[in-house]
Amino acid sequence: MRIFLYCLFFVNFVFATPISLVGKKYEDLKLKQESCPIKKVSISKHKLWLGYVQFNNGVVVALSSPKYTFAYSLQNKKEDIYKVYITDYKTGKIIDSQTAFYVFGSKIMSVGGDDIIPFSKKVDAQDFLEKQSGKKIYSIDRMTANFINYLELR
């Protein structure tokens, strides 16, 4: 019986993966965290801008903007991170950062100033770019340390 329990525990530990946050909203997560670990501002006051880093152990850390989400994820070991999520600016739903479209250079600012505005659909990003004087639409490949630092300096 003891061997069975050890095997069960081992299988559960090895194959357990965190639950996806895609499609949820901030309120669904019921996070106890109150402030952004980088900007030190209230998380609940910036719901349209939130990003999330989900670690392999299931812990979710919310950040006050996409820019700070990528900055935070770059500060942590890649192998410790399960997924990085951001909030779709149009729907307010959480989306996978890997598949999002990011509008750069618009006149809309996050709590941290110049930022990238994420969308799950390219058509929504294009519409936003045109209406808000955006400069370009980027994919996840552009979210490098140099680019994030550039946003912080603008």
Please check whether residue 107 lies inside any domain of the structure.
Answer: yes
Q: Is residue 12 part of a domain?
A: no
Examine residue 11 and state whether it is found in any structural domain, yes or no: no
Nearest CA-CA partner of 103 in 74, 132, 79, 82: 132
Question: Distances in Å between the alpha carbon of 135 and those of 39, 66, 82, 89, 104?
Answer: 25, 17, 31, 17, 6
> Would residue 64 count as lying in a domain?
yes
Calculate the CA 71 to chain-centre distance.
10
Question: Is residue 9 included in any domain, yes or no?
Answer: no
Pairing relation of β-strands 136-138 and 101-104? antiparallel
Domain of 105, in residue numbers: 18-153
Give the count of domains, the chain. Answer: 1
d(C-alpha 86, C-alpha 5), whole Å: 38
In a domain, 63, yes or no: yes
User: Is the residue at 60 inside a domain?
Assistant: yes
For 76-133, how does the pLDDT look when each residue is reduced to its tens digit (9 = 90+)? Answer: 999 999 999 999 999 999 999 999 999 999 999 999 999 999 999 999 999 999 999 9
